[in-house]
Amino acid sequence: MSNDGQQTAGELFFDDAVVSAATLARRLDGVQRVIVRPNAVITPAARDILRERKIELAYQTNATNNGDSRTPLAIAVANTRFNMGELMRALRNEPIAIRSVVPWGFAEMLEQITGDVVGGTTLGLFVSDDAAAALCLANRVSGVRAASAANAVEAADVVRSIGANLLVVRPGGRSLFEMKSVVTRFCRGWPRECPEVWKGKM
């Protein structure tokens, strides 16, 4: 698929790694739904255009993982000095397919990662010293089940109890080993859905 996109019956398909305002320019007439690849980065300006024009943003699901058995995980780091590079190296041999969210601002990165999670093609990890704010804002988005966990036991619990699809972690005081344990435990059991008891309530 080219950068020009392919349009069918009100739907516009893009296979670009990054979808920007320039990508969408002059291509949205008659479009009701834009579909992008599972790991696509949608810039804030592009999201604004889609929101203003009331165009749905969706992620391709028929090619999720392309046969890859690893758990897809989008990671964003905002408002913290935590060295995410070290964690990503520590996770290198784990069955996790990591994609980093392009660094913008706190709100923009949170919007990007919640959009990815709602698309149903990935789990999300948001690392920030402002974890409480991130949790509050993320859980305002329909389809996001964000939770925090201080250790692997708590990570397992939020997966079991609410089918958490976004983990928000405040890294302060945690060792690299502790962070790795939390992330690897959170990523087990993909794909996952909201437990039946909470459907329609979260």
What is the CATH number for 145? 3.40.1400.10
Number of domains in the chain: 2
* Residue 63: band (very low, low, confident or very high) from pLDDT cuts 50, 70, 90: very low
Asked if residues 114 and 121 have their Cβ atoms less than 8 Å apart, the reply is no
48-8-43 Cα angle (round to 5): 20
* Residue 60: band (very low, low, confident or very high) from pLDDT cuts 50, 70, 90: low
DSSP 8-state symbol, 144? -
| Percentage of the chain modeled with pLDDT above 90 | 43
* Residue 1: band (very low, low, confident or very high) from pLDDT cuts 50, 70, 90: very low
Residue with tokens 């979260």: 202
111-162 residue pLDDT tens: 989 988 987 789 999 999 999 999 999 999 999 999 999 999 999 999 999 9
In a domain, 187, yes or no: yes
The residue range of the domain holding 171 is 65-196
In a domain, 170, yes or no: yes
163-179 residue pLDDT tens: 999 999 999 888 999 99
Q: What is the mean pLDDT of the chain?
A: 86
For residues 140 and 54, state if they share a domain: no
In a domain, 85, yes or no: yes
Confidence check: pLDDT of 2 > 60? no
* Residue 67: band (very low, low, confident or very high) from pLDDT cuts 50, 70, 90: low
For residues 73 and 47, state if they share a domain: no
Alpha helix ranges (H) inside the chain:
21-24, 44-52, 84-90, 106-118, 131-138, 152-162, 176-186
Confidence check: pLDDT of 15 > 60? yes
Confidence check: pLDDT of 196 > 90? no
| Residue 71: predicted pLDDT | 92
